[in-house]
A and B are shown apart, each in its own frame.
Chain A
Amino acid sequence: MREVILSHCEKNFVNKAIDKETRLDGRQLLEARPVNIHFGSNWGCCIVSLGRTKAIAQVSCDIQKPKASRPNEGMLHINVELNPMAAPFFEAGRQSDPSVQINRQLERCLKDSKCIDLESLCIVADKKAWNLRVDINIINHDGNLVDCASIAALAALMHFHRPDVSSSEEEIIIHSFAEKDPLPLTIYHHPVCISFLVFENGNTIMDPTYLEEKVGVAQLTMGINSYRELCSLDFNYLTRTSVADVIPTISNQAANYAAELVSLIKESVRQDVEARYKKEVKNFGRFENCIATDKLTAMFTDKIPIKLSSWGKMDDREDEIMEDQKENEQIIKINKNSAELLLLKGDLFGNGGVNTWQNDSSSDDEEESSDEVVMVEETKTKCHVLDDIELSEDSEEEETQNMTKDDIQT
């Protein structure tokens, strides 16, 4: 299926919004979407959601003969799949341009920066070494696939544990997890990709959504670690116009956000790994928690992001707003300048709450019938107007022009 072409109206709308330094989802220009990481039951398996963009990563390993050029190093393969599941215009099993680009960006960010100690993965030099493979599947495409995939890959690699190996003279023994505790990988530094998008007017935004990606002029992806070190850099024009150089101005922001993001990933990985070491039954941060129970479908949301220019000033008026709303809704303050309108959990239909769907209840029928009555009345008055005009048209034109609806009704 072909990608749907964006209309000029939408393009202009996005461009104008960026002109006024607002974004459609209420973020600041240089603000990223929230990141959520959930881990699966195996080592090295995680789902990462960046806003509505979702990626699932799985690390696996097997033993292979190392490359002749590097006989004492293990290997690392990174593969990103863009399926029709993510978006209908991706073709399955074909190396399309975007998939090659994402793959190469991740390879440069994770492989070429040598963030993983591959030498520790060698078992017998020139004969046997661990071959790590990171498979990343994009589940939903809402822009900025690179960032989401890189977070997923990094979290999965940090979470991964390989089986222990002991080698005696001729043979090597791979111990199962029951025999010996599995070992984590040695990671020197933690690079993540941070993407930016430049618009026609020179404004730069962080973490673009799908819609914004189609409007933007140039894209910039920086692979950066928490020590302000650049591991990969990609700057490309998407269309044939030119903008000023943005790399120097935003690299600082990228470095700050990268440090923030890496500490978030580290923390969530640490919590999960510790829980596993203690063999606790953890009831947060697992796959089952990423399926939201308060929603009928995973992508359907009742949350309405509200952007407030000044939250503090709104405090005195807040009570009035709360009174206006139904009792089963609640405003949640997320950040300094944003809030979300949320249904309260206890009142949901699935949890024994009231059915809020208005399908075939009797009250609806009544409402509809009353609507019809109103409609009839309106048509009647219209008929009157027409009649009057027709009548008066014969004699004098001026009077008909001056007549209004109110005049007739009185």
Chain B
Amino acid sequence: MLEGDQDQEEDQGGLRNDGRRAAELRKIRVRMGVFGQADGSAYLEQGNTKILVAVYGPHQPRGSAARAGGKNVGGIINCQYSTAVFSFSAGERKRRPRGDRKSIEKSLQLRRAMESIIQLDLYPRSQIDVFVEVLQIDGSEYCVAVNAATLALIDAGIPIKDYAIGCTASLIDSTSKNDEDSSHAAGVVDATYMEECSPGATLSIIALPGSSNDATKGLVVVAQGAGQRLHLSRLEALRNRALCGCRDIRNILDRAVRQHLTVHSQPSFSTLHVID
């Protein structure tokens, strides 16, 4: 970061460029059941990152996944991660929505995350499809995709063990002096695109936070570091910061799910009441 930017940061009173504090999340908007055709669907916004997920299944295995796992007695999860060509905010277009290495890698890791929460032994010889469409990118899109996929699974009524929650923690400027009292030293959660591109390091974590309030107890399922260099001594703090973010996101999503369910199951409760 340039010298001028650092002065600016101090002027901001420890706030980030978009006015958040280090451990503050962006505004989260949730809609569940946005599609009629799909068995489950969800739309999730975290700041300007917008993601749509549809879940089909469980159904009879078909396609390449069935052939690959023909002998597999357990269920098969098929994930597709695609990024819309218009998703970049900078005006440039992505050439292909899927099929490049980054998309394949993200599909693979999305499948790992989904496998860790879905109770697959309940669905022998059946397939569950998860289709993720990234509509707009503004940082942490992979983590938001996992959150949205979890919501879509809940909407589809597929039993899961726990919420799989993704959160990023980013060290904006790893070259700066080691300011222990600065809140930015432990990294900032839920990084935006600008923060991810800054010369620091970003750690993406998919965790099962559980219902306990101890943030560091979360079980890390997938962890991925990107960016430039990060000294090992800072890894632990960054990880804890990300896990704290995971727990916060979980609480927000849990409340949203409960609200969605009470709103949409009200008529059926009332009809039951009438029958009684």
Contact = CB atoms under 8 A, between A and B. Distances in A.
Given A97-B108, A233-B223, A247-B223, A240 B203 contact: no
B229 interface: yes
- The CB with the most chain A CB atoms within 10 A, among B104, B223, B228, B232, is that of B232
Contact of A245 (B104, B105, B220): B220
Contacts of B115: 237, 240
A248 B216 CA distance: 13
B226 A108 contact: yes
Interface residues of B, number: 31
Nearest to B113: A237
A104 B102 contact: yes
Contacts of A384: none
A236 B228 contact: no
B32 to A, nearest CB: 26
Nearest to A232: B225
B154 interface: no
B122 interface: no
A230 B105 contact: no
Contact of B228 (A114, A227, A245, A255): A114
Contacts of A251: 232, 235
B104 A97 contact: yes
Nearest to A242: B219
A229 B230 contact: yes
A236 B109 contact: yes
A385 interface: no
Given A108-B226, A234-B223, A237-B221, A229 B232 contact: yes
B157 interface: no
Nearest to A229: B229
A245 B219 CA distance: 7
A229 B115 CA distance: 31
B227 A112 contact: yes
A227 B92 CA distance: 37
Size band of the A side of the interface? 20 to 34
A233 B205 CA distance: 11
Contacts of A42: none
B118 to A, nearest CB: 9
A248 B104 contact: no
A230 B227 CA distance: 10
A58 B233 CA distance: 35
A224 B236 CA distance: 15
B228 to A, nearest CB: 6
B231 interface: yes
A100 interface: yes
A186 interface: no
A189 B229 contact: yes
B206 to A, nearest CB: 9
Contacts of B236: 248
B231 A229 contact: yes
Contacts of A240: 115-116, 120
Contacts of B104: 95, 97, 100
Contact of A101 (B105, B203, B220, B235): B105
A249 to B, nearest CB: 11
A146 to B, nearest CB: 13
Interface string B197-219: 00001010000000000000001
A228 interface: yes
A100 B105 contact: yes
Given A100-B101, A233-B224, A234-B224, A113 B120 contact: no
B108 A101 contact: yes
A252 interface: yes
Contacts of A204: none
Contacts of A137: none
Contact of A232 (B101, B105, B226): B226
A100 B221 CA distance: 20
A235 B235 contact: no
A95 to B, nearest CB: 7
B229 A100 contact: no
A229 B222 CA distance: 20
B263 to A, nearest CB: 33
B16 interface: no
A235 B220 contact: yes
Interface in B44-97: 92
- The CB with the most chain B CB atoms within 10 A, among A224, A225, A242, is that of A242
B229 A247 contact: no
Contacts of A232: 225-226
B184 interface: no
Contacts of B231: 227-230
B112 interface: yes
Interface in A218-268: 224-225, 227-237, 240, 242, 245, 247-248, 251-252, 255
A83 interface: no
B223 A235 contact: yes
Given A189-B229, A230-B229, A230-B232, A103 B223 contact: no
B239 interface: yes
Contacts of A104: 101-102, 105
Given A100-B101, A112-B226, A247-B223, 14 more contacts: A95-B104, A97-B108, A104-B101, A113-B229, A114-B228, A229-B231, A230-B225, A231-B229, A236-B112, A237-B116, A240-B116, A245-B219, A247-B235, A251-B235
15 contacts: A95-B101, A95-B104, A108-B225, A112-B227, A114-B228, A229-B229, A229-B230, A230-B229, A230-B231, A231-B225, A231-B229, A231-B230, A233-B203, A233-B225, A235-B224
